A and B are shown apart, each in its own frame.
Chain A
Amino acid sequence: MSDGLVKILDGNTFVVSDDRGDIEASLTDPTGLFSYDTRFLSKWVLSLNGQRLNALSTDDLHYFETRFFLVPGTGTVYVDAKLSVIRQRAVGNGFTEELTILNHEDEAVQLTVRIDAASDFADLFEVKDALKKKGKYSARVEKGSLVLGYQRETYRRETTVSATTPAQIDENGLTFSVTVDPHGSWATELSVTAGLGLGEGLASGRNGGARRRRPSMEKNLERWLADAPRLECDWQPLKATYRRSLVDLAALRFSPRIAGGRSLPAAGLPWFMTMFGRDSIFTSLQALPFTPELAATTLLALGAWQGARVDDFRDEDPGRILHEMRYGEMTAFEERPHSPYYGCADATALYLILLDEYERWTGDRQLVRDLEPEARAALNWIDEYADLLGNGYVSYKRRNEKTGLENQCWKDSWDSISFRDGRLPGFPRATCELQGYAYDAKVRGARLARSVWRDAGLADELERQAADLKRRFNRDFWVEDGQYFALALDENGDQVDALASNNGHLLWSGIVDKSKAKAVVRHLMGPRLFSGWGVRTLAEGEARYNPIGYHVGTVWPFDCSFIAWGLRRYGFKDEAAQIAAGILDAAEFFDGRLPEAFGGYERKLTRYPVQYPTACSPQAWSTGAPLLFLRTMLGLEPVGDHLIIDPALPVGIGHLELLDIPGRWGRIDAFGRGRVDIDHKAGLRQQLGR
């Protein structure tokens, strides 16, 4: 991997180590064994006769399993290995590690094999923000195991380390004194268990040791891949990217027990392996033509946790869809509000959009009927709780002023919403895409009310509200001298006039007047926003523009995928294809795994996409982006019981086939042919979108 770290994961348990399999974490370093937002191992170091090992190679067997080939090293270039060491590690409720030592000599060898283990039990928030612990640590040897503990009042977490062969165990690790026969081998299996002390609690339904579960996890992954549509394409990198996306999406699945063993996408490694309203919804939308069951679980799980009351600490309101759920120490002691936290202004409308889109693809009316109360509560939230200024627009202002989120839109960093001149507006802020989502939620809610809930009165009312919102929006947000939509309205109702990628989401929502669409598209595809790879989050030339600023100049593959969907919605097929081409071409530089974001530098300048320094990878909605691009390139649109196919492929793709697309029609195949012959120049990398 690009950062030299090896990651394996299953739901929200994951291990990040160096390429030898060792973990030596510092407080601010996201390596270790993590489960439920807590680091259960911060040190895990293997040595032979006091000597560290060198990595020969690493095999990523599965997303949940990896194998390290090692040799005792002198640190020199020349390796004369008389011994080989293999560590095969699989993640589960903690992880298991099969440690094998091979002796290549004609004589037996005596070895002292040592595993040093320790844990700082850091909350992920502490790792992210470099905070200090408040409780007490312990380490004890008990029943042939090393038990590392942490306690603060009633809060207790434990890590148990054991082995299948006899070991001398002390408080810092395990020592094996072994003799390996000539050309023989020695093996043990180490097991590390993360003890949450939650009983069965809210922990994952995927229980049992990693070893026992491995065959079923392999089968599960095979079935997952086999169930997804098959892709045929003459541009080879796309096939690799597609497969990478499917595997990563499988890895990011997360099964909170309240989902009854079904899974929804967690947001991303390492920081966001949890239920995350906005990210789970966007990813489910992207994956609908491929794995519609993710959407069903997302709707059920987020519905179950829908806001029940007014709670300022959690920014909770009745009907509001949650932002983020966390299980770490800081959440337990209410030093963070994530139990769960509701401070996001878009997930509630997006929830309704997903519900309707899900029904349009799958025809699963039963779920829409079952979730009618949740949907009505969500619609109610938009009108009764989200209009903070009483001006008919959705806006946000945190009530938890200490640890709540300032920006409750997808661009949630502190400086993401600004005027052209760089000033930051006050609160409440009504960002433009929130109005688009609210509009779309009402339009779609009306469709569901009429066709499924049989409530024509509600449908009429929602349609009336939607039309009114659209009319006002096109008047109040339109920046006349710039010919685009303002990023937001501030607390006075004045336009926050920076040009940003949010304009593309407005196309996706359908809130843009047809007469204004062309001007918006000119900006999206123009030099200030379009980098050659994708659409920058903030336009070049704005005071806060920075090509490696998190939400103020980088290109986000997820963002671009919804912009492409928006372009298709308004009939701009070629432009949608151009964005798909740029991002898919960038994906090849990352071996098919798109990062959360990459630099907004001009493509002609860098010739490769510059990864944003601390971006999450894999990240669910980046993983979902290629899936949505397949949809937009093929022009897939469910209409009634049929799937409309209207392909528009980028230059460089001659043919594209997506076979066995699941939906209310059963399974269907989609074919697309390119309009331009490709010039295959020998020795040159074939690129898209140039």
Chain B
Amino acid sequence: MKDATTAFFEDLSQRGHDSRLDRATGTVRFDIVNGKRVDRWLVAVNKGDVAVSRGNRAADTVFRTDRAVFEQLVQGKTNPVVQMLLGTATLEGKPELLVPFRHLFTGKSAADPRSTAGYARRQK
């Protein structure tokens, strides 16, 4: 079975556009440390249009953490601010580019209407 990280980026790549990133334009590189290896995912966002690629290229924002933490993050089991305060994740460059990704770190796929900020009906 695919890990949550790969699923997250593949899902994002397939969508091509995510309205939750409408406010963002720039490149964010996620450096995910996996033992001695670093997996690098580059997400180029242009007003919500998303292109995902792999590789070590310069980016406006670099978010770095280890694999276990990122797995938790994309599943909505932990919070990026907490990880940065703990020192288990670091952010360089423009933080404003990472902030909208909070809306994607919910552990739900985009097709699920409950994952869309502000338009969901709360489960009573």
Contacts and interface: CB of A to CB of B under 8 A. Distances in A.
A665 interface: no
Nearest to A329: B85
Contacts of B118: 306, 318-319, 373-374, 376-378, 380-381
Interface in B76-101: 76, 79, 81-82, 84-88, 90-96, 99-100
A331 B79 CA distance: 11
A202 B87 contact: no
A327 B85 contact: yes
Contact of B102 (A200, A308, A327, A331): A308
Interface string A306-340: 11111000100111000001011101111000011
A202 B95 contact: yes
B122 A198 contact: no
A306 B102 CA distance: 10
B115 interface: yes
Contacts of B87: 154-156, 197-198
B82 A308 contact: no
Contact of B90 (A155, A198, A381): A198
Given A308-B103, A384-B122, A257 B95 contact: yes
Interface in A267-320: 304-310, 314, 317-319
Contacts of B99: 258, 304-305
A643 to B, nearest CB: 31
A329 B94 CA distance: 24
Contacts of A334: 82
Contacts of B23: 304, 370
A333 B86 contact: yes
Given A310-B122, A370-B23, A373-B118, A198 B103 contact: no
Contacts of A318: 116-120
A153 B82 CA distance: 14
B115 A339 contact: no
A332 B82 contact: yes
Given A154-B88, A198-B85, A201-B84, A339 B79 contact: yes
A309 B79 CA distance: 12
A199 interface: yes
Interface in A16-58: none
Given A198-B90, A305-B99, A339 B82 contact: yes
Contact of B100 (A304, A331, A370): A304
A332 B102 CA distance: 17
Contacts of B122: 310, 317, 384-385
Interface string A160-179: 00000000000000000000
B117 A155 contact: no
B10 interface: no
B60 interface: no
Interface in A119-144: none
Contacts of B93: 200
Given A258-B99, A385-B122, A340 B81 contact: yes
A493 B94 CA distance: 48
Contacts of B102: 305, 308
A426 interface: no
B85 A257 contact: no
A378 B121 CA distance: 13
A154 B86 contact: yes
B11 interface: no
Given A155-B85, A259-B96, 4 more contacts: A309-B76, A309-B115, A339-B85, A373-B22
12 contacts: A155-B87, A198-B85, A202-B91, A259-B96, A308-B102, A309-B117, A318-B116, A331-B82, A331-B85, A376-B118, A380-B118, A385-B122
Interface of A: 153-156, 197-202, 257-260, 304-310, 314, 317-319, 325, 327-329, 331-334, 339-340, 370, 373-374, 376-378, 380-381, 384-385
The 4 closest A-B pairs by CB, nearest first: A377-B118, A332-B85, A199-B90, A319-B118
